[in-house]
């Protein structure tokens, strides 16, 4: 079975049943189950989560995108700093990026105040961090590859040649 294609399907919809995955891949269910178990064991698949439009929740969490610059020294590398930052639950994602700053963080908290405090009290004071720029997320149009619009209606005629 084609593992790349299996992954593509799971990334499209992690809730496909094993039977439906098998049908789409033209494989048998057992092979699909084995392949998934392997991908999990190898750490290729790291988890399964719902893509939620948080703006529709009663208690909408506040999210921000934080640019973070750091200064390295002989003893401390990017990995060491990252190890410290990933431990916070507020940090939803942490990536080392190219360009004007070093780390891109996505942080989430209950309120603007809580989130600001988190950045100023937990991120900024890390000794290697030289600068942070926080962008509060105002509206999300697409997350995890899924558009948040109303979707396009299927306006095709129901039966055509």
Q: Look up residue 56 and give its DSSP letter.
A: G
Name which position in 1, 8, 41, 70 contacts another protein (CB under 8 A): 8
151 belongs to the binding site for another protein (CB under 8 A): no
Enter the tokens of residue 14.
Answer: 């992690």
36 vs 70 by CB, closer to another protein: 36
99 vs 149 by CB, closer to another protein: 149
Determine how many CB atoms are found less than 10 A away from the CB of residue 157.
5
Determine how many CB atoms are found less than 10 A away from the CB of residue 102.
22
Q: Which stretch binds another protein (CB under 8 A): 4-12, 66-74, 109-117, 123-131?
A: 4-12
We find the least distance from the C-beta atom of residue 148 to another protein, in angstroms, to be 17
Q: Look up residue 90 and give its DSSP letter.
A: T
Contact status, residue 94 vs residue 103, Cβ threshold 8 Å = yes
**Interface with another protein (CB under 8 A):** 5, 8-9, 20, 22-26, 152, 154, 156-161
């Amino acid at each position: 079975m084609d593992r790349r294609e299996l992954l593509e399907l799971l990334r499209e919809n992690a809730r496909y049943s094993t039977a439906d995955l098998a049908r789409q891949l033209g494989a048998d269910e057992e092979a699909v189950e084995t392949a998934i178990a392997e991908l999990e064991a190898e750490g290729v698949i790291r988890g399964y989560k719902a893509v939620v439009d948080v703006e529709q929740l009663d208690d909408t969490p506040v999210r921000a995108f934080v640019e973070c610059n750091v200064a390295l020294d002989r003893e401390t590398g990017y990995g060491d700093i990252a190890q410290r930052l990933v431990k916070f639950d507020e940090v939803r994602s942490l990536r080392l990026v190219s360009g004007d700053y070093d780390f891109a963080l996505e942080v989430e908290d209950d309120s603007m105040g809580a989130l600001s405090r988190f950045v100023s009290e937990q991120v900024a004071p890390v000794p290697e961090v030289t600068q942070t720029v926080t962008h509060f997320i105002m509206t999300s149009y697409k997350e995890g590859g899924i558009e948040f619009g109303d979707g396009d209606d299927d306006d095709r005629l129901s039966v055509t040649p």
